[in-house]
Amino acid sequence: MRQIKINSTTGSEIVGLSAVKSFARIDTSADDAIIERLIKQARIWCENYISRDIVAKNRTYYVPKTSGIFDIPFGPISSIESVTIDGTAFTGYTSVGLDNETIDLDGYAEKVKVTYITSGLSDDFLTQVILQLVATLYENRSDYVVGSEVNLVPTETKKVLASYKNMFV
């Protein structure tokens, strides 16, 4: 089974506390810790939905068997740190694609590990999506509130993120 692990997060959030408070019209500092957790939660949800990193990370991807060519999830790839095949360092690979997201080992291999750095994504669309999602999560902090309608993830959020999605099989 293919596996992926985050070794470390090297980048910063693209949306800050003050931007969320301004967007959601929050005047108090009493909920700042909650809002900061919601920013991270919203960003992780978006990253998982589009299979791409918004915040730069160091990751390791494991492939049990490959014909030699496979895509690395959660790009864009900034650099490949190492490739090992069955525990032995391998340097005879090539990385191709717009963001170097495809690895070519030039033949069948088993127990492949690729350690790589992602550069993260940042643009106005992603910023807006995260702001909307954090505001929705903040307004709906519990599953049930008497006299209030609970909103799901905003429809527009999924529509905007759909253009970033990559499919990995």
What does the pLDDT look like over 50-82, one tens digit per residue?
989 999 999 999 999 999 999 999 989 999 999
Give me the pLDDT at residue 140, please: 79
Q: Which two tokens stand for residue 101?
A: 């997201």
Query: What's the whole-number mean pLDDT along residues 88-99?
Result: 92
Q: Cα–Cα distances in Å, from 77 out to 10, 32, 117?
A: 13, 33, 6
Is 16 in contact with 122 (CB distance < 8 Å)? no
What are the start and end residues of each CATH 1.10.3230 domain in the chain?
A: 14-54+121-162
Reduced to 3 states, what is the DSSP secondary structure of residue 38?
helix
Is the full-model pTM beyond 0.85? Answer: no
CATH class of residue range 14-54+121-162: mainly alpha
Give me the pLDDT at residue 145, please: 53
Confidence band of 99 (pLDDT split at 50, 70, 90)? confident
pLDDT tops 80 at residue 169: no
Q: Which of 10-19, 90-99, 109-118 has the lowest mean pLDDT?
A: 90-99
Q: Cα–Cα distances in Å, from 107 out to 66, 81, 101, 103, 110?
A: 8, 20, 17, 11, 10
pLDDT tops 80 at residue 12: yes
| Peptide bond before residue 64 is cis, with ω within 30 degrees of 0 | no
The chain-wide mean pLDDT, for the chain, equals: 88
Query: What's the whole-number mean pLDDT along residues 21-35?
Result: 95
pLDDT tops 90 at residue 166: no
Q: Which two tokens stand for residue 36?
A: 């900061």
